[in-house]
Structure 1
Amino acid sequence: MLEIIELNHEILQGTGSYCLRSKPKSQGYINKNKWLNDQFEEGLKYVKLLENGKQVGFIEYTASESSSRVVYAENYLVIHCLWVSVTGKGYGTKLIDKCLEDARNMGKHGVVVLTNSETSWTPSKEIFLKNNFLMIDQAPYNFELLVHKFHEAPDPYFPTDWDERVERFEQLTIIRSFQCPYVDIATSNFLEAASQLGIQANIIEINNRDELMRLSPTPYGIFSAVFKGELITFHRLTVHSVRKKLKLLIDKHLVSNQRG
């Protein structure tokens, strides 16, 4: 039997969130649950799907005006995350249907979601295409914006100033929020790799929607690492991978300066 549970402050206190639930004492898990408690006040929905009492998936979504994705989508809901334990059983569709139903009941124009084939940190595009979402916009680094509209309405869209956003950061800079529990691990890996190379890292905490829309160098919004005016990543990397990417950038700029 499938059962949908919508988290609130009380249920979160009792059962916790789905994300990183295998490590409930980790800082990332603690940060995520605190973030959820704050976002419930803004209308965020965090819905778990249970089959015979066992958790088999979840979906997280909120109004665009308070979302963690860098997208202009007035009067739409934005899906942050969708995850299921097993594909092909209709779990994802059931969770998407719950989101669409809430959006209709709220009088929204529809629902949007951000996808990217390069990382598992965003939901898979295919499940949304099967549920009548259409790709409406694209951004650098293989980001795509999909929309499910209920009626004729303005199209959601990405900003277009991505180059300028990245180029402003010369120092190694991590821009982050705690919408995802893996941000803490991703940050630690960067700091360790940077320390090994003798590089000082700066961390910018995104505290509100205005900062997100102004500072994030990618549409994903919750984690980015930039160095010498170039994006290194928008998702978690191993310490080895971070060190390798940093070293390549350092060497590249040394060669460029020598030629100059």
Structure 2
Amino acid sequence: MTQHIELIQMNSELLEGKGSYCLRSKKKTEGYQNKNKWLNQQFEKGLHYIQVLENQKQVGFIEYTDAEYSSRVVHADGYVVIHCLWVSAVGKGYGTQLLKRCLKDAKERGKKGVMVITNDQTSWTPSKDLFLQHQFQHMATALDDFELWVFPFHESVERPYFPDNWQERLTRFPHLTILRSFQCPYVDVATENIQLAAEKLGLQPVLVDLQTREDLMEKSPTPYGIFSVVYKGQLIAFHRLTVHSVYKKLQKLMNNS
């Protein structure tokens, strides 16, 4: 059977029909609806959301935007930031096609380069393997596991860099605090799991919705910027955990106080 492969740049009209990629099996959930609402808002700011269709089936996507509008906590003016790159049909070169599409677009628009943040602890960030294969440079590491990878178009351009006050940011939150934005559709269920675990321990989380780029740059305790849980000045989570895992982490900190 001949395969028909398309790379489709989504817009509000196509989003209404085809829908976004993540959580697409649960289109009625609040998380999925919030993601589509967020995408429509970000399209107006130049966000690119490109899906790979294999015989009309969604098999991957890339999401990227200019750093000035991104959900990653990094100083990178003039760069394009890749938020997400994911393919379910592996070994077919779709990830490379998506990445090359991003690099080509950024170069044609006169950007300084392209950057991405990875973390080997979770699949919530892109895998660094693809970027290593395409000569991205490792620029920095934050909080042990967040890595900044950059593809500069010219050697003379300034490189992106992380803020240098992560530990100070964490100390701002002695009480159980959830900081989140809505770039990821899994944030809602991740939040719910924290709240359920906290309730079992008699804790009431403080919920902080990061609404703007300025909020992210000032308040986020990790470079990821999408979801952070902090308790007693320590980072508990930056991606979805089970209720049981959250319970154990919180209980340990409570017992150590």
Whether the TM-score (by the shorter chain) exceeds 0.5 is yes
Give the 3-state SS of the residue equivalent to 1:195 in structure 2.
helix
Per-residue CA distance 1:70-118 (angstroms, 9 max, x = gap): 0111100000000001222101000001100110111001100000000
Q: For the residues of structure 2 that align with 1:132 and 1:57, how far apart are their CA atoms?
A: 22
Per-residue CA distance 1:149-190 (angstroms, 9 max, x = gap): 111200111111000000110110000000000000100000
Per-residue CA distance 1:204-228 (angstroms, 9 max, x = gap): 0000000000000000001000001
Deviation of the 1:141 alpha carbon? 3.7
Structure 1 residue 213 corresponds to structure 2 residue 217: yes
Amino acid at match of 2:114: V
Question: Pairwise mapping of residues 129-140 of structure 1 onto structure 2 (< 5 A)?
Answer: 129-140=132-143
**Unmatched 5+ stretches in structure 1:** 254-260
Give the 3-state SS of the residue equivalent to 1:10 in structure 2.
helix
Quote the residue 1:13 is aligned against.
Answer: 16
| Equivalent residues, number | 253
Quote the residue 2:88 is aligned against.
Answer: 85
**After alignment, is 48-57 or 92-101 more displaced?**
48-57
Give the 3-state SS of the residue equivalent to 1:22 in structure 2.
helix
Q: For the residues of structure 2 that align with 1:214 and 1:58, how far apart are their CA atoms?
A: 29
Match of 1:23 among 11, 14, 26: 26
Quote the residue 2:60 is aligned against.
Answer: 57
**Unmatched 5+ stretches in structure 2:** none
Q: For the residues of structure 2 that align with 1:141 and 1:175, how far apart are their CA atoms?
A: 20
Q: For the residues of structure 1 that align with 2:59 and 2:15, how far apart are their CA atoms?
A: 17
Match of 1:202 among 203, 206, 212: 206
Question: Pairwise mapping of residues 79-228 of structure 1 onto structure 2 (< 5 A)?
Answer: 79-152=82-155, 153-228=157-232
Amino acid at match of 1:205: D
TM-score with structure 2 length normalisation? 0.97
Q: For the residues of structure 1 that align with 2:18 and 2:58, how far apart are their CA atoms?
A: 11
Q: For the residues of structure 2 that align with 1:140 and 1:134, how far apart are their CA atoms?
A: 19
TM-score with structure 1 length normalisation? 0.96
Quote the residue 2:246 is aligned against.
Answer: 242
Q: For the residues of structure 2 that align with 1:200 and 1:54, how far apart are their CA atoms?
A: 42
Match of 2:40 among 37, 43, 49: 37
Amino acid at match of 2:233: G
Deviation of the 1:51 alpha carbon? 1.6
